Amino acid sequence: MNQTQTIEIPIAGMDCTECTQTVQRAISSLNGIKKADVFLSSEKAIIQLDPSLVKMIDIRNAVKNAGYSVPQQNEENTTPNAALVNFSRRIFTVLGLAFGGIILLVVAGEWLGLLDGLTQFIPFPIGVLLVILGGAPIFLNVIRATLNRQVISHTLMSIGALAAILVGEWTTAMVVVFFMHIGSYTEKLTAEGARRAVKDLTAMAPQTARVERNNEEKEIPIAEVQINDIVIVRPGEKIPVDGNVVYGQGAINQASVTGESMPVETNTGSHVFAATLLKQGSLKVRAQAIGAQSAFGRVIKMVEEAEMHRADVQQFADKFSTYYLPVVLGIAALTFLLSRNLLATAAVLLVACSCTIALATPIAMLASVGASAKKGILIKGGKYLETLARADVLLIDKTGTLTLGKPIVTDIVSLNGMDENSLLSIAASADRYSEHPLADALRRSAHERGLELKEATDFESIAGIGVRANVSGYKVSVGRYSLEKDEQVKTLESQGKTVLSVMVNDQLAGLIAASDILRSEVPDALGEVKKLGIQKIELLTGDNESVASSLAASLGISYRAGLMPEDKIRIVKEYQSQGRIVVMVGDGINDAPALAQANVGIAMGKAGADVAIEAAHITLMREDWTLIPQLIQTAKRTMRVVKGNLGFTAAYNIIGLILAAFGFLPPMLAAALQSIPDLGILGNSARLIRQSEK
């Protein structure tokens, strides 16, 4: 019987998208592998396999044969330390000066014949042996790739080094090997730059927890904490688990989950999140979610796996890099056929920068996704950033999105002799099990008046209309049922209030009006959104015409009222049929279908809300409209950086290939220049990190 098991393994040595594709192909080729996803940002692979057909040793060997490795879980990471990856101008200046100095020395040495003197002291066979020894790790990877019918970036440079040896220039071959190592390190540095935000995020997760067991406090690794354990947290410590406070009170900084640094007051019964910081007070927390199952764990997982949703421009770059190497080989062959100049041919192979093309997009995307997560914005992939940058329609839900979602009862109009308290009591009782914000407003108002709610049976919720239930022997309906448009109703609605009818035994017993509160930051945020190029902003609401009209007029946007959930999907499709790029902002629960249908669905969900995170393409972990223009700005800035990376890389390669093909670029200089584009992309993409930290 077929079994499916999912495992995660670390992968060492990956520097670019080409590397991830190579590893993914190697793993997927094994019998028993059902699916393999390899991620550059988190340096890991997630594999679905049949354990009866494939073993871990098979996967390890496949990765090794592809030129990479699977470290043991207790091995230290072999990539450069994150502390070495500093995106300040000072570091880039030093790197630039170092490379400039090396290039100057190489060129001057070749022109002045300083390197030629080596051949007088070192015999040619010894020189070739030095080249082989110096380049052995790279040459072995090239041989493995060739045996697997793959052409990698170092294939070209290795052929270039071989060409130099064939014409007796072993010193040139040695310089090529030197710059191959420099290039490899530069690519690792560049890839590490993209991982910086992800690793900074992961570093926030607590590694240990202090638990109460057998009336004793014990500090244990987070992996050993169990559900329902009582975890003790003291001032200045990070909360290690998601859970409920069972004792104590304090102020918590939730920036790691929501991006908001203002402390949140917490006491017995409050829900708290892992990786948040207890600023004041002491707490005992009953563990409910641990590690990857916590809200913070899900944030990390989403950021790590954002590469699965590649932008169209990234997919284009990936495909282009696949065909680029064979094209360069063709240009090199044509150069040799026309010029018979083996050094010019070698220079063509040496100057080509295939990894840079593959890095141009994911480096920028990973930087933005990781940095945004630290601000409480979860983006499921680069494709949504690319789409958001081109969006021209913004559709907005009302309740819980534009408003606080906590309406208050403002008016109670009793009809047919029923007093206000009786009307409110029976309506709130019928809405006892409803999760709608208006139902919550009825219950809160009844509680404030000291009214006792009665049991509701045969409860039925009808989306977009209201509820029905039996209360104390009466058949009660609350919502938009047979609402007559008399003068009293019109007056209430003209004030921007939502009017509910209360039907008792199919007779109108009264009206209850409620009003929601607009989020204070919404007007300014929508003004910023308009400045960013969103041509059409429209409010979509199930409320009546008067309520929608009043709110939309105050914000200077259009509206559609009286909508059912399926109407919102229809409107999204309507705009999409016109070729428009639609962004939908909702609360992530009742708007889930419309969020999924939109080109980009943004859920304004609360921290830890599973539905909010799953429903949309982008989730705001705190309910703050200022994040919307920030998000659009990030998308546009990211695409400018991506286009700059691709434009620079394309121009650099074209110019380099032309100069090399016509003999104007000696092999040594071609090898030296090969690594420069990586630094260019690193510096350009690093702006996304710096700007996000302002």
Phi, psi of 360 (to 5 degrees): -55, -40
Enter the DSSP assignment of 139: H
User: Is the distance from CB of 271 to CB of 296 less than 8 angstroms?
Assistant: no
Nearest to 599 by CA among 400, 361, 392, 315: 392
Q: Dmax of the chain from CA atoms?
A: 115
Sign of CA dihedral 376, 380, 382, 388: negative
d(CA 353, CA 606): 44
Edge-to-edge strands, sheet with 456-462: 408-414, 507-515, 498-504, 474-479, 466-471, 456-462
d(CA 27, CA 32): 10
Q: List residues bridging with 413 in a β-sheet.
A: 511
d(CA 613, CA 619): 6
Query: And the tokens for 321?
Result: 């890099």
User: Is the distance from CB of 304 to CB of 42 less than 8 angstroms?
Assistant: yes
d(CA 379, CA 630): 13
Helix axes 627-661, 312-339, angle to 10 degrees: 10
Tokens 């809200």 map to which residue? 295
User: Is the distance from CB of 502 to CB of 510 less than 8 angstroms?
Assistant: yes
Which of 6-41 are b and which e, b meaning 16 or more Cβ less than 10 Å from the residue's Cβ?
Answer: eeebbbebbbbbbbbbbbbebbeebebbeebbbbbb
d(CA 182, CA 138): 12
Nearest to 273 by CA among 297, 249, 250: 297
d(CA 477, CA 242): 39
User: Is the distance from CB of 351 to CB of 672 less than 8 angstroms?
Assistant: no
Amino acid at 187: E
User: Is the distance from CB of 281 to CB of 233 less than 8 angstroms?
Assistant: no
Phi, psi of 605 (to 5 degrees): -105, 165
Rg for the chain (alpha carbons), in Å? 32
User: Is the distance from CB of 344 to CB of 670 less than 8 angstroms?
Assistant: no
User: Is the distance from CB of 528 to CB of 546 less than 8 angstroms?
Assistant: no
d(CA 667, CA 665): 6
Residues with Cβ < 8 Å from 485, sequence gap 6 or more? none
Helices (H), 352-436: 354-359, 362-373, 382-389, 420-430
User: Is the distance from CB of 594 to CB of 586 less than 8 angstroms?
Assistant: yes
d(CA 134, CA 671): 15
Enter the DSSP assignment of 202: H
Instruction: Tell me the catalytic residues.
Output: 397
Q: How, if at all, do strands 466-471 and 456-462 pair?
A: antiparallel
d(CA 185, CA 431): 64
Query: And the tokens for 30?
Result: 């094994």
User: Is the distance from CB of 587 to CB of 397 less than 8 angstroms?
Assistant: yes
Query: And the tokens for 80?
Result: 């450069």
